[in-house]
């Protein structure tokens, strides 16, 4: 029996580093290895070589402005449409309600196949930040909502993400399908952790705090830096690693200098080597992630894989399933609250270690497990009459 053919469509993919790009890469990797033939369809980047076991189909794109940091694919290219129609996918999974959604609609003619759409992030916030005129923002949001409504099944990565989907006007059904992490469970090798500690001359009495993500203010990075400033004033000995890059990176570094924590704060830039990144997570005592923008926060699961507890904002999407002082730390969305929680936690290294171990048991989710669940649902979708699918815009919101 021939293997099924699934398409994974997204507007970003490595070398772009973001949570959705990583999700698509891991979906494709696990599906290809265990279940079916996979083609990732994504905009082209000049000079990129795709050395993956699965196929990557790149189509013509143009750069967007530097602040956005992505490329926009052309979903109307006749050559692209013809080549993709010849793929004869059994199912298409789209991860962005923009060009990728339009492309899927343009190639999904006869015979029509099921389309799954995952709503990964709060696109209304992205649009509000990048489109100044309210009239154009409304047009953009109608465009996003129309693309979502056209899918046969809607997935969200957390229940909070589902609420965000409701906030933009979606009134159908959806299914929560969590993302995982490609980190193996367990800390990196001790000698590698010790080598990193020696490289940065970290003392035994110093706590190590970590942030990994895009260097953008909307990630609540100002809260992280202000929290560290307060921790310093309270006498907490620490070193903090800020890993990533983004449009706001220069201003963020300037702010760390301005508030007097630059000596304890190390900006590494982006780290593409996943195993090397895992060493940082294994070194860290606590992962600082006060973002209320992220709808999933795969990095929280990456931290949990290395028994590193996360400091999160109470009721944020990233905090779903995390219990305060058991499998993580929860604070209000302010530097004062985060600092209070952090300083209190630092009174006991043993407690931090125990909370980290609990995070590994209760927060960690591997991509193997996550994609196993997704593939099982794919098969159910293929075996169900499209009219009877319950998680789409035609279904009644219960």
Mean pLDDT per 10-residue run, the chain (398 residues)? 90 87 95 98 92 97 68 93 97 96 95 96 68 72 94 96 92 95 95 98 98 94 98 98 95 98 97 96 98 88 98 95 97 98 98 98 97 98 94 79
- Residue 130's pLDDT is 62
The ranges assigned to domains in the chain are 5-180+367-388, 190-362
Q: Which CATH class is domain 190-362?
A: alpha beta
CA angle, residues 301, 343, 294, in degrees to nearest 5: 30
- The predicted pLDDT at position 294 comes to 86
pLDDT at 137: 76
Place of tokens 């099944």: 153
CATH number assigned to the domain covering 5-180+367-388: 3.40.50.2000
Residue 138: per-residue pLDDT: 83
In CATH terms, are 5-180+367-388 and 190-362 the same topology? yes
Strand stretches in the chain, DSSP E: 5-9, 37-43, 55-59, 61-63, 71-73, 91-94, 115-119, 153-156, 175-176, 207-212, 238-243, 265-269, 286-289, 310-313, 329-331
pTM: predicted TM-score of the whole model, two decimal places: 0.85
């Amino acid at each position: 029996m021939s293997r099924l053919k699934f398409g994974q469509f997204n507007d970003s993919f490595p070398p772009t580093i973001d949570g959705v790009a990583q999700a698509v890469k891991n979906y494709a990797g696990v599906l290809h290895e265990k279940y079916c033939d996979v083609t990732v369809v994504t905009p082209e980047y000049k000079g990129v070589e795709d050395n993956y076991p699965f196929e990557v189909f790149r189509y013509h794109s143009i750069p967007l402005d530097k602040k956005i940091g992505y490329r926009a694919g052309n979903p109307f290219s006749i050559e692209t449409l013809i080549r993709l129609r010849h793929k004869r996918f059994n199912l298409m999974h789209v991860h962005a309600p923009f060009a990728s959604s339009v492309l899927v609609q343009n190639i999904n003619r006869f015979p029509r196949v099921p389309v799954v759409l995952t709503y990964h992030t709060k696109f209304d916030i992205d649009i509000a930040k990048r489109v100044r005129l309210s009239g154009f923002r409304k047009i953009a949001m109608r465009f996003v909502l129309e693309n979502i409504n056209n899918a046969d099944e809607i997935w969200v990565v957390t229940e909070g993400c589902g609420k965000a989907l409701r906030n933009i006007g979606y009134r159908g059904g959806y299914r929560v399908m969590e993302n995982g992490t490609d980190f193996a469970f367990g800390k990196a090798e001790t000698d590698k952790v010790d080598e990193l500690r020696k490289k940065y001359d970290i003392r035994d009495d110093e706590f190590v705090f970590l942030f990994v993500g895009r260097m953008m203010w909307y990630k609540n990075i100002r809260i992280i830096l202000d929290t560290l400033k307060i921790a310093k004033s309270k006498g907490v000995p620490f070193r903090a690693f800020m890993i990533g890059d983004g449009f706001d990176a220069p201003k963020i570094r300037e702010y760390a200098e301005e508030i007097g924590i630059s000596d304890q704060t190390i900006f590494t830039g982006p780290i593409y080597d996943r195993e090397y990144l895992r060493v940082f997570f294994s070194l860290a005592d606590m992962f600082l992630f006060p973002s209320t923008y992220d709808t999933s926060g795969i990095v929280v699961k990456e931290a949990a894989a290395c028994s590193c507890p996360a400091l999160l904002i109470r009721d944020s999407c990233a905090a779903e399933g995390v219990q305060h002082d058991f499998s993580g730390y929860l604070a209000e969305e302010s530097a004062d609250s985060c600092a209070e929680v952090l300083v209190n936690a630092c009174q006991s290294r043993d407690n931090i270690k125990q909370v980290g171990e609990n995070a590994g048991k209760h927060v960690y989710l591997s991509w193997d497990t996550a994609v196993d669940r997704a593939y099982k649902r794919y098969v159910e979708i293929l075996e169900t009459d499209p009219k009877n699918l319950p998680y789409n815009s035609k279904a009644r919101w219960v």
